[in-house]
Every structure is written in C-alpha cells, then in structure tokens.
Structure 1
C-alpha cells in the first residue's frame, strides 16, 4: 500500500457539535455500513487539523483499535466527514480493485488471521498504519472481483432476510400484547392493578459456582445472567455446565414456564427477564431469581408486561447500586404494579407465544445453516475457488 490513502483520523474530536463536521467511530460501524443516526459531529476547526483523513463517498473505513477488522463503506451523506484514530481510511485504486471486493476481503478469514498475527498491545489490541499497508489480499482480475462481490452480496442478502424474519417474530409478540391488552401506560381497557408480590407463589435464587467449578464435562447445564438477552430472549447456545448435589438439584432445577429475573448486573442490564421453556434439566446462577406465579397470571404474560414502556420504567425506578454493580431486590420488586387481565386472555397470549417460539426456532435453525454456508462461501472466495481463470498470489492492497 502507498502512504497517502491510508491515514488515521481525529485524535480528540471534543464534545458533540450539532451541525458540525461528522466523524465516524468504530461503534457506529457494522455489516459494512455506518449507522448514520448515531454519528457525532465536531467543529470545522478540529476537522480541518485532520484534513488528510477527510472522507469521500466510496472510501472504506477499517477499525484498528479494540474490535479490529470492522469495515464500512462511506456513503454520500458522510462525504467531507472524518474518522477517529481508532480507524483508518482506505481509498481504493478503482482500476485495480473493486471496493466491494476489498470490503469482503478485509472481513475474510485469511485477512482476519493476519490481524491476529499483527496486532499488539497488552490491554486493548490495536494495529497501526504500517500493519494495514502490509496486509496481503488475493487479488483476482477486476472482472472476477466484481463477480465474486456480486455472489457474496446476494448470499449475504439471503442470510440477512433470515435474521430479519427472526426480528419480526419478536416484534409480533410486542404488537400482539398491545393489541390484546392495551398499553399499560394508559391502561385503556381498565385492567385491575396488583403488586408483583401478590402474584408470586415462590421465589428461589440460584446456585453459586466459581469459574473453576464450571466446564463442559460437568453434570448439568448452568444458566448464567448472560443467557438472558436484553430483548428478553433466553439464549441457551453457550451455556456452561456444573456439578450439583441431589438436594441442590431439587432446589434449583428449572421447569417449563419458570420466570427468570436477573437480580444483579450493570445498571443497563439488571432487571432482564425471560421465561424458561426447555425440556432439559437445567440449573441456574445466583444472580438469577426463579419466580413461580399463582394461578392468576401466566409467566409469558408477566414477561411481556416487563418489556413494555411501563414495565421498563417501573424496573428502572427500582435499581440501586454502585458504579459497577446494580441490583433490584425482591423487597422492591414485590411492589411493582402489574395490570392483571383475565386469565383466559393471558392463556390466549401464551398460546401465541408458543407458536411464535416454534416459528422462531425454525428460523434460527435455517439461519445457523445460512451462516455456516455463508462463512464457507467467503472462505472459498478468498482461496480463489470462486474465480474463473488465473488468480494472482496474495499481493499488497493497491491504493492511490
């Protein structure tokens, strides 16, 4: 690579300046795009000091600090913007390399392995400009680059449609709740209100297990707080395992329909909840409280209520803690007001939840297959298996 086209960005952008010059941080990059609504702005004076890293539409941004290897195209809306020193700007030589192909190449397994071998830093990993210049990319003829980029773009679009379908199933449940029960903030259907504690039959905190007591070869899967996602889904794909005594198992075994509440976490994540619906034998961590309700409410109904604007607001009012650890104690949670609709209506909603779970699981299975096939396709593309004719050996990226 030559010197001028690959440059660092702004060292200290300063506070956000409405109407100022936009600058892109790695946190705003994902899926080769920039989330424009999150982009901050700096003064024209600061931007002018770093005019060498000024962006043009069609440039490529590569993150080089922290999460190394995030890539994004610069859209027309950010023409004249800038970047921070956590990224470099790359300007392709268009008669030698297709920008879309270059983006895919920078995300390919072969180049990611180069990031791993070149990065430095005992704390936050990083690359420098000389490392980026030294990256080696298999460079097919330009016509083949464009064909490969077309193939990967289309395959990626199919993969994303699967993920969008999964997101739509989650939105369906939120919309159905508001349609069936009304917005709890205004309570248009006049449902009676009861404190959460009045709906609870029993609660139980989980088992304490140190990291040294957790491994894949232990007896039972052990659900920790990271398995409860911020959107209320329970992700059991990476659950660790622990040994338990018979008495512990009798106390901490989960049953379908158990409501799981994250009692301690960061301020943003404490209060997450999910409903356990798996048939396997699972136990859970001490930062999770298992709740079993009386016959007056369905766990899926209470879970959905907690995801509403009113539920989120009431939970936020009950958080307490230090700068690093927050908690919602049961004494406070028990006072949280819950609108209680007729049980028959809750059962109808729970049946819908069950159908959506099956639909979502089917989408997830297909999405996993799509992801695996896509990763294989990318690997093959940059081993030269998708190109027609002769593909050059790995060569330095060629820029202006």
Structure 2
C-alpha cells in the first residue's frame, strides 16, 4: 500500500536558538543539527517524534527523539499521526532521498511542503511493530560494534599517556624539538575548477577524507595533476595527513590504501625523520594536543583558531621521547589494530544487513 508522507505525519517548527538556552539546566533534553546539546527546564513534544535538519550543515539528516524533548530552530519536527509508529516513521524518512528537495545556493534549505508528497510502502501497525523490532536489533548490534571501536581507541589513548605522560607540559622531561627540524611538510594542490580540463585526472584526499587515524575513501574526488604536480603532491607510505582547517590537527597515517593518490590544499602532508620521530606517535601527539588545548600555545592563536597554517605548524614544539619507546607504542597500536579489524568487519556486516533490510522494507 502506497501512502504519502503527509498521510502519516504533520510538520512542526521551532524558533529556538542555541543562544536561547545557554546556561540553562533541567530534566529535558534538547537537540540540534549535530545531536544532543544539553538539558533544559522545558520540553515541546509530549510524545516521541522525528526531526530533520532543515538548513545549513547536516541538512536532510533525520533523527529520532524520545518524548518530552525539544529541538532548536535548525531542525524541523515531523509529528507522527495515529496510523504510524514514531520509530517506523524515522526509518521511512531516513530511507528517502531528500537531497533532491534541497534549495538555496549559499545556505541550503529543505521544506516540508516540497517533500510531503514523497510516497513510500505503508504497512499495518502490527507489521510496523515487527519491522521496528528487527531494525532496532540491528541498530543495537551496530551501536555495540561502534562502541567497541571507541573503547579500543581509548585503550591506545590511555597507553599513550601511560608511556609519555602529559606531552603538552612535558612532565616526563623528554627532549623537545621544533616541528620543522624533525619533519618536512607542505600543503596540497589548490583546487581550481577553471584549470580542470580532465586530461590527467587522479584521485586526491580532501579535508573530509581524513578522519582520526583512518581515511574515508569511498567518495574520493578527482582533479588534474600534471607530471610536475604528481611529483610534488604524491603520497607515500608513512605520510601523515593533517587537517589545516575544520577540526585542526585531525590526522591519519597513509599506507598506500589507493595507488597514485594525491592531496588538496586543505591538508598538510607531513614526512617524519623516522630516526627521530615516528608518524604514528606524532598522530597521537596531535590527538592529545587537540583534546587538551595544546594548540592554544601557538603564537598568535586564539581559542577559536580555525586554521593551522604551515608557518604555525612548523613552529610547534614537539615532545620527542626516545625512539625505542615510540617503537614500543607503535607495536602496541599494531596489536590493537588487529582487534579493530575484526570488530570493523563485524560492524560492516551488521551495517550491510541493516541496509539490505531497509531496502527490503521500504524499497
């Protein structure tokens, strides 16, 4: 049975800004485009509901919320009618390709009036309950696997502190060296659409492809790299890719996951003098600094620094423990990574099952 989205839900809206709730506390959660914000002393929705990011970053992302909660104005309420279970509505909307309804060049928007006529396969309430139960079990497995990966990363983090102490204040009195003395680094190629003719296209890494200690390689873009560019911007095994903007300092070590791959200007390519410092140690050094305010000490930086420029990065003072100790840490990472590979495989299988069930139920 086919129904339109407007047959099973109504639109609600919020005028709340995040600034309206600063310093507020209470018993009721409130959410924004990036997720949970905090607790407040009021709520807008008595029953469970679905919300969708209606503009800006994360547009189109669908989230499910419990009763007695609220969202801020970047979100739009989808309030279930009596003929649909709230969690079933969440799955329905999450499976829709709403990007075709985005509008606006500078700040994109999505409006309920545009997608309310989107059709889907509607099931009886009894079948909805069964579908929600099955998909919910899959999501619990996925969540558990993700949590395992987080705990394994926490294990490495704890080992880093155990072995090297507070590397910002250098409480172990290790040797310190300037970044430029122990590495060579440079930014990638400027993306210039006017000069892209498609005659020598190669994949490249952008900021969003570099996550903490891993790469998102399923959506690599391509641009022209001539012979000189390929020599200048090539990636080699052991290169550390560091984000210049966004979450500054976010980084991962490259191990030739893609042959003949290059990098864009939003990234620093760092090559370590591995007689002095190892890239895996340096990546966790960046992580520790990012999480503990270490980059506030960069000359001229503010708490809201948005870019880690090449000049500022070269001036960083890096705590450098003995290379033998770094090697022990890298060996520990390799052992943990073996466990992460097993967990990641289980996660991928659970996600594949979930995706196939979504396709089966909602087409």
The interval holding the TM-score normalised by the smaller chain is: 0.7 to 0.9
> Could you report, residue by residue, the CA deviation over 1:261-316 in whole angstroms, capped at 9, with x for unpaired residues?
34x43xx4333333222263333234423333251221211221121147863434
**1:271 corresponding residue in structure 2:** 249
**1:125 corresponding residue in structure 2:** 109
CA distance in 1, matches of 2:265, 2:71: 46
User: Are 2:35 and 1:56 equivalent residues in the alignment?
Assistant: no
CA distance in 2, matches of 1:363, 1:273: 22
> Could you report, residue by residue, the CA deviation over 1:210-240 in whole angstroms, capped at 9, with x for unpaired residues?
24666999554322333222x3533333223
**1:16 corresponding residue in structure 2:** 21
Give 1:176 shift: 1.5
Q: 1:277 to 1:334 in 2, by over 3 A?
A: same
User: Are 2:205 and 1:226 equivalent residues in the alignment?
Assistant: no
User: Are 2:360 and 1:380 equivalent residues in the alignment?
Assistant: yes
**1:285 corresponding residue in structure 2:** 264
Segment of structure 1 superposing worse, 355-364 or 270-279: 355-364
Give 1:117 shift: 5.9
Match of 1:72 among 60, 64, 67: 64
Kindly indicate whether the alpha-carbon contact (under 8 Å) linking 1:181 and 1:341 is maintained by their aligned counterparts in 2. Answer: yes
**1:388 corresponding residue in structure 2:** none
Q: Which has the larger share of strand?
A: 2
Match of 1:27 among 25, 29, 33: 33
Q: How many aligned positions are there?
A: 351
Structure number with greater CO (CA < 8 Å, separation at least 6) is: 1
CA distance in 1, matches of 2:232, 2:51: 52
Kindly indicate whether the alpha-carbon contact (under 8 Å) linking 2:152 and 2:340 is maintained by their aligned counterparts in 1. Answer: yes
Kindly indicate whether the alpha-carbon contact (under 8 Å) linking 1:23 and 1:83 is maintained by their aligned counterparts in 2. Answer: no
Can you give the 5+ residue segments of structure 2 that lack an aligned partner in the other structure? Answer: 1-5
Alignment of 1:65-104 (within 5 A): 65-66=55-56, 67-68=59-60, 70-76=62-68, 78=69, 84=73, 86-93=75-82, 96-104=83-91
Alignment of 1:1-400 (within 5 A): 6-10=11-15, 15-16=20-21, 18-19=24-25, 24-29=30-35, 35=36, 38-39=37-38, 41=40, 54-66=44-56, 67-68=59-60, 70-76=62-68, 78=69, 84=73, 86-93=75-82, 96-108=83-95, 112-113=96-97, 115=98, 123-128=107-112, 134=117, 136-200=119-183, 202-211=184-193, 218=200, 220-229=202-211, 231-262=212-243, 264-265=244-245, 268-278=246-256, 280-287=259-266, 288-309=268-289, 313-318=293-298, 326-330=307-311, 332-383=312-363
- Measured on the aligned residues, the alpha-carbon RMSD in Å equals 3.8
CA distance in 2, matches of 1:133, 1:224: 35
Of structures 1 and 2, the larger Rg is shown by 1
